[in-house]
Amino acid sequence: MREIVFFFNTYVPYRNWGAHPNSLFLPLKNKHFVMQLSEQEIIRRQSLQELNKLGINPYPAELFEINVSAADIHQNYPNQKIEYKDVSLAGRIMSRRVMGNASFAELQDETGRIQVYFRRDDICPGEDKTLYNTVFKKLLDIGDIIGVKGFVFTTQTGEISIHVTSFKILSKSLRPLPIVKETVDEQGNKVLHDAFTDPEQRYRMRYVDLVVNPQVRDAFVKRTKLVNSMREYLNNKGYLEVETPILQPLYGGAAAKPFKTHHNTLEMTLYMRIANELYLKRLIVGGFNGVYEFSKDFRNEGMSRFHNPEFTQVELYVAYKDYYWMMNLVEEMIEKVALDLHGTTEVKVGENLIDFKRPWKRFTMYEAIQHFTGIDISQMDEAALRDTCKQLHVPMDATMGKGKLIDQIFGEKCEPNLIQPTFITDYPLEMSPLAKKHRSIPGLVERFEAICNRKEICNSFSELNDPIDQRERFEEQLELGKRGDEEAMTLDEDFLRALEYGMPPTAGLGIGIDRLAMVMTNSPSIQDVIFFPQMKPEKQAEVSTNADFEALGVRAELLPILQKLGIVTVAQLKEVKATKLFNDIPGMRKKLKLDDIQNPTLQEIEGWLK
């Protein structure tokens, strides 16, 4: 596609585009702005101007009544033809076939696509044929959103279509959509060409992704159904859905690095929550037997196809229960989710068929490490664990204590082998500062994680409710923080005060919704199940100001000519040979009819390039 670069100093409203005889834009002095437009974008802006001249508002405010969808027509018209004599539908134009006095187009709404048929004399029954001959044929483009009214019929080729009797422009698209072409190969398989598949572009411009890759919607629809299924399950158990603070004076409830902000009125530092655990436990202290929250949490950590700094999880706390009881709940709830989404407990994930049918396999953490490495680490101290990490080539650093070292070994040597849903239970005390000590095995806590498709999908404890023990654990975390562990927990005095009033024995659970959605939708990346994942800043084109050019000796009156030649930075100017500029500038000056501007001499141009 040919790129045409327009450089203008102040934006001109589209109603005035074309007011300057030589440009779509009017260059003014002192300020600068750069806008790159493709040829198609220029044509669309010209069409927009023509629509306004015809008195047609391309962005009307009034509602457009819809009484049918594309999917409804395809599913029900064959058996209920009499019901589709007066339909009203809105959608985006995805293709057009203009054939003189009659034309076909394809509209896409939220439910799919349907063919629409336009005939000039139906659209324009009187003498004035402008609406068809000019507006429809010349001023509409693929990507425009229109509303149509008419009746449904079947074409001679057997395609269900809408015969349009009237239409209305609802939104003019100024950027062309990526056009995905579809052909059929010799074996009868559909083949896509020019597909919008670049991951960075898809995630950054999800709005385009959803339009041209409508199958992407399925993952997000299933994600919503997943959340609704879990909410239904928890509500049926009688648990209360609650909300807790996102901005917190202290962060806690997980081992993670927080995002930090500042409250101006209170003149205090606040943290975006890394978990909502400690607030939900306060509610258990307050007398609720079961509370849960679907929450947005934030962790200022690395990004990968399994990690996004903003993520969703559900946390559940139920009084008078333990982690054995919670394991049974997790199995039952996730099995229900699979059945609600797929009608079966078996879900295809990549090359694996994962079965969520109860019961799931169970390992203690020490058993899992011994099973996959052949090494029993249950009696090792920190020094021995460091030697084991070296032996197994597991990465580590000086800030890691005993718990972190065990977690590293498990993450490197065990998790990659856990495909089917598996509970890992009975974690070392050092790894779990909020979990209750094991009732029968010293040095362990009552905790489990569910691992599926090589990644953790949930975490659960028999919650620690001994305030003295909890204070000691927090103090141990403070010591780790002094050693440089940025993920060590802080000491929350208010939470300890709540525990001192008495918290009943409680089972707690956290499930990562994004991770679970990846599994349930067979998505390889967390970005595929988050509408707008965090991205690196988009690279901006380098821009030079008028003053930068004038500092080289370029006359201000010549700048629009250089910009029309695609030269918008000093670096671009320096790359062009003087003789080429000497030949190109007069040609562009003549094309723009800037007869009152004097051409630069070769010597003058050479002076710019020194």
> Could you report the per-residue pLDDT of 466-510, keeping only the tens digit for each?
999 999 988 888 887 888 877 778 889 999 999 999 999 999 999
> What's the pLDDT at 193?
67
> What's the pLDDT at 30?
41
Q: What is the largest CA-CA distance in the chain?
A: 95
| CATH T-level fold of 218-360+420-528 | BirA Bifunctional Protein; domain 2 (3.30.930)
CB neighbours of residue 603 within 10 Å: 9
**Does CATH number 3.40.50.150 belong to domain 70-171?**
no
> What's the pLDDT at 204?
94
3-state helix, strand, coil in the chain (%, to 5): 35, 25, 40
- HSE-up of residue 368 (Cα within 13 Å, Cβ side): 28
CB 9 within 8 A of CB 30: yes
Q: Which residue numbers in the chain have pLDDT < 50?
A: 1-34
**CA pseudo-torsion sign 53, 54, 58, 60:** positive
**Phi, psi for residue 361 in degrees, rounded to 5:** -65, 150
Which of helix, strand or coil describes residue 95?
strand
Intervals of CATH 2.40.50.140 along the chain: 70-171
Q: What is the DSSP letter of 43?
A: H
Q: Taking the complete model, does pTM exceed 0.75, yes or no? A: yes
- HSE-up of residue 178 (Cα within 13 Å, Cβ side): 20
> What's the pLDDT at 256?
87
Intervals of CATH 3.30.930.10 along the chain: 218-360+420-528
Residue 295 CA to residue 317 CA, distance in Å, equals 14
- HSE-up of residue 326 (Cα within 13 Å, Cβ side): 30
Identity of residue 528: D
> What's the pLDDT at 42?
87
> What's the pLDDT at 39?
82
User: H or E segment at 363?
Assistant: strand 361-364
CB 586 within 8 A of CB 564: no
> What's the pLDDT at 14?
39
> What's the pLDDT at 20?
35
Residues 107-157 have pLDDT tens digits of 999 999 999 999 999 999 999 999 999 999 999 999 999 999 999 999 999
**Phi, psi for residue 424 in degrees, rounded to 5:** -105, 120
Identity of residue 34: V
